[in-house]
Structure 1
Amino acid sequence: MIEFLMPSLGADMEDGTLIEWKKKPGDTVKRGDIIAEVETQKGLIEIEVFDEGTIGELLIQEGTKVPVGTVMALINPSGVPLETKEEKIPEKESIVLQPIEEKRIEPITAKKVVEIHIKASPLAKRIADDNHIDLSKITGTGPDGAITKEDVENAIAEREKIEIEKTPVEIEKRGTPAEAIRSAVAAAMSKSNREIPHYYLEKRIDMKNALTWLQIANEHRSVKKRLLPVTLLIKATAKSLTEFPELNAIWDNGLHLKKDINIGFVVSLRTGGIIVPALHQVNLKNVDEIMDALNDIIPRARALRLRSSELSDPTITITSIGDGGADLVFGVIYPPQVALIGFGNIQEQPFATEGMIGIRSCVDVTLAGDHRATDGLTGSRFLFSLNKHLQTPELL
């Protein structure tokens, strides 16, 4: 059986609450199917499965808080009959008894040993078993200390009272969604500052060619299909990362390069805080597909309705201030990633080219790098490549 584990959806995540199973035992699943919904600090997340097969057993009950890495379900791999996974118990030879006396031999299990030493009425035992009550923790009030039906019912009532008393504390602790998001951001950024030795580089890029090409390209598109400048920034970043794969990586007891370029895009939430979903395989997408991906993922991110892979897959992060924002942004790397690209506001600035000073639309770009993974030379060459690609937008 394949063990399906509670995934980690970021450096700040320790556990999640299973809200609903979307599959049941016997259902077939394939890569990308939604198997469950889990509530985390980042909202209600759709959890995907990345194996193919048949659901064998669901091990966690809905409503349970589950630590990261806990086995939640068992999946029978495709092509493996279910019966091959069953444990077969060899048949025992029958025991021939003397005809003068019939005997019945039963193995004594650990449960029976406990029951032998606990005095309880049959009805009390049945009620306790149905409600998962441990009889060994109940003091009996019946004859000779025997546990009665009333004793078990009192234990059930006491347990329910404790659960009710805990509920307001849990709600108060979790707070509002905005407070939960802020708490998650605080945990991740604290970990980043504590563990990652940052270095920063900055480059000013002339956006005249890119914006001119964008204006012409949008003339042939409907209003809903028009491209934003950020699509060119994202695509140029992806093309540059193919040349500098050390920046498209994670640090986990060493540098691990990633094959797919899954760019985490910072989305500001209206209630405060940020969330960083992944745009998958950006290196394989054209600018129209990137625009479609942004139009899909930004509303879902703001509604806190993302898939697990969109939170766990980013290999590098882009933060873009957008129109009217700050001129420059120095980002904090999101662990375990090793780099973050920051784009400031595109604005008109004095810019020298070919010995002449003119006014150009420019963007100030910063790179935050993890000094354990790369150094300033690699980062500088990456920014040079990014500039090169943005000067030839028709090739993007």
Structure 2
Amino acid sequence: MSEFRMPSLGADMESGTLLEWLVKPGDVVHKGDIVAVIDTDKAAVEIECFDSGTIEEILVPEGQRVPVGTALAMIGTAESEPVAVPPEPETVPPSPPKPVAAPLAGPLVRKLAKELGVDLSKVRGTGRGNGITRADVRRAAEPPPAPKAAPPRDRRVTPYARRLAKELGVDLAALPMTDSPVRAADIREAAQVPAPEASTPTAPVAPASRAESMRQATATLMARSKREIPHYYLSSTVDMSAALAWLRDVNRDLPVERRVLPAAVLLAATARAVAKVPALNGFWVDDRFQPSTPVNLGVAVSIRGGGLVTPAIAEAASLSAIEMMDRLRDLVTRARGGRLRAGELTTATITVSNMGDLGVDEVFGVIFPPQVALVGFGKVLDRPWAVDGLLGVRPVVTVTLSADHRATDGHTGGRLLDIIGQLLNKPEEL
């Protein structure tokens, strides 16, 4: 028997609301299955199960807010039982086939069968002595009846989603049939209403909006970061001419829905560069740096209504710019739709903040503890730029680094910015 507990989904999370159960007592679950949706101060997050077994008991009902570490459910681990192996059957020699009597059919019946293309050996006779009649031949020549349509699959709907559909007037039958159960997020999307604010059954709903709650949580974490982490800051300006020209060539061969944006190129270059400067990829825990082998790139995503979340793109250094665009598009869509998973909010090893789409020239971010670095990108701007002694106008971007002086120094940070610049000038390697 094991306990499924309220996980910590970030350094700033102290409690969460059990928004929706996707399982019930008696259900068999496996490690990695999505079993619940937790509402934090920042977003609704899908929670994976850490054990395999059977849900024995639900300890926390939907809608209740509990501290991190609280047992939410009990999972029973099924003990393996010996499987009885049936004895092998005795080998019996096959009996010789019995001769099949030729069907009884008169000359007129055989003539009709020939005209209709009916094999008399496959016709069951209904005449005297099981003889075959012309009616038997005509029935055999008729096409087989069309198979009956399979009954429609039962639509799987979580209890909370069913109640929410009734409240919002959503017709469950009108929703597209999928292999996954209908959840509350699907109902809200169909009704075009935002996710609800977190609340507790024992206290009145806080007057602050979700955006205000998110900003408060972020501000608390950033205040802790500035108080505890000795930041240092570096910046570099990179010529984007080669990168943008390469993007134009790549996008000619891609469908519109898969076209690559400059943000994906910036992320891909950052991930590759961080893999070459591992001293900036990891966590400061227990007064020492703990490096991470994979580069899990945290991406700052703005949420509708205000606020930010920073889910991670796992193994980002192994992704091409096109693959990075696909992952980024999926991550942003799910972040804004309240479908992030717990692992995506807890595994980032370094964060990137790209504020170029907001017209910001440069951004010096605050490190997300326990990470030790944050890379920022501003807007791609046309600026005077000298090449081989000649002055011209080039598209450039300002890249910044905020890093923890306990883990690295300016020399290490400068190497990272230099490698990012080199990669952006050789986009074909991304």
If the length of structure 1 is used for normalisation, what is the TM-score?
0.73
Task: Flag the 1:167–1:26 CA change in 2: closer, same or farther, 3 A.
Answer: closer
Aligned with 1:371 (options 380, 397, 405): 405
Paired with 2:393 and 2:298, the residues of 1 have a C-alpha distance of: 32
Q: Are 2:285 and 1:285 aligned?
A: no
Task: For structure 2, list consecutive stretches of 5 or more residues without a partner in the other structure.
Answer: 83-199
For residue 422 of structure 2, the aligned residue among 375, 388, 391 is 388
Corresponding residue of 1:244? 277
What residue number does 1:304 align with?
338
Deviation, 1:284, is: 2.5
Matched with 1:194 is 227
Q: Secondary structure at the match of 1:386?
A: helix
Q: 1:359 to 1:240 in 2, by over 3 A?
A: same
Corresponding position: 1:179 with 2:212? yes
Q: Please name the residue that 1:346 is paired with.
A: 380
After superposition, residues 126-275 of structure 1 pair within 5 angstroms as 170-173=204-207, 175-253=208-286, 254-275=288-309
TM-superposed CA distance for 1:390, in Å, is 1.1
The one-letter amino acid of 2:27's match is D
**Residue 21 (str. 1) matches residue 54 (str. 2):** no
Is 2:42–2:308's contact at 8 Å kept on the other side of the alignment? no
Q: CA deviation at 1:344?
A: 0.6
**Is 1:40 equivalent to 2:40 in the alignment?**
yes
Larger Rg: 2
| Distance in 1, Cα, partners of 2:367 & 2:280 | 11
Distance verdict in 2 for CA 1:185–1:218, change over 3 Å: same
Q: Which amino acid aligns with 2:320?
A: N
In 1, Cα distance between the equivalents of 2:55 and 2:201?
32
User: Which runs of 5 or more structure 1 residues have no equivalent in the other structure?
Assistant: 84-165
Instruction: Give 1:324 shift.
Output: 5.5
1:322 to 1:39, Cα distance in 2 relative to 1, 3 A:
same
Cα distance in 2, alignment partners of residues 287 and 36 from structure 1: 33
Deviations 1:327-379 (A, max 9, x none): 11110111111110000100111223333332211100000001111111110
- The 1-side partners of 2:68 and 2:201 are apart by 22
Aligned to 2:68: 68
Could you tell me how far apart the structure 2 residues matched to 1:340 and 1:20 are? Answer: 33
For residue 293 of structure 1, report the CA deviation from its aligned partner: 1.7
Conserved? CA contact 1:323–1:346, under 8 Å: no
Pairing partner for 1:316 from 319, 328, 350? 350
Aligned residue for 2:340, secondary structure, equals coil
CA distance in 1, matches of 2:362, 2:214: 24
Residues 377 and 398 of structure 2 are in contact (CA less than 8 Å); yes or no, is this contact kept in structure 1? yes
The secondary structure found in structure 2 opposite 1:170 is coil
Give the CA RMSD over aligned residues.
Answer: 2.3
* 1:332 to 2:366 alignment: yes
Q: CA shift at 1:64, angstroms?
A: 2.8
> CA–CA distance in 2 between the matches of 1:386 and 1:54?
48
Q: Secondary structure at the match of 2:274?
A: helix
| Alpha-carbon distance in 2 for matches of 1:170, 1:186 | 24
- Matches of 1:377 and 1:31, distance apart in 2: 43
Q: Secondary structure at the match of 1:272?
A: coil
SS at match of 2:232: strand
Are the counterparts in 2 of residues 331 and 368 from structure 1 also a CA contact under 8 Å?
yes
Q: 1:256 to 1:225 in 2, by over 3 A?
A: same
Gap change, CA 1:62 and 1:323, over 3 Å in 2: closer
Q: Give yes or no for contact 1:239–1:283 (8 Å, CA) kept in 2.
A: yes
User: Is 2:80 aligned against 1:81?
Assistant: yes
Q: 1:69 to 1:324 in 2, by over 3 A?
A: closer
- 1:263–1:318 contact (8 Å) kept in structure 2: yes
Q: After superposition, what is the alpha-carbon deviation per residue over 1:201-226, rounded to whole angstroms, capped at 9, x for unaligned? A: 10111111111100000011111111
Distance 1:6 1:271, change over 3 A: same
Report how many aligned residue pairs link the two structures: 312
CA contact under 8 A between 1:319 and 1:342: conserved in structure 2? yes
Aligned residue in 1 for 2:183: none
**8 A contact 1:42–1:304 mirrored in 2:** no
Kindly provide the CA deviation profile for residues 215-269 of structure 1, in whole angstroms up to 9, marking residues without a partner as x: 0000111111110011111111111111111211111112111222211111123
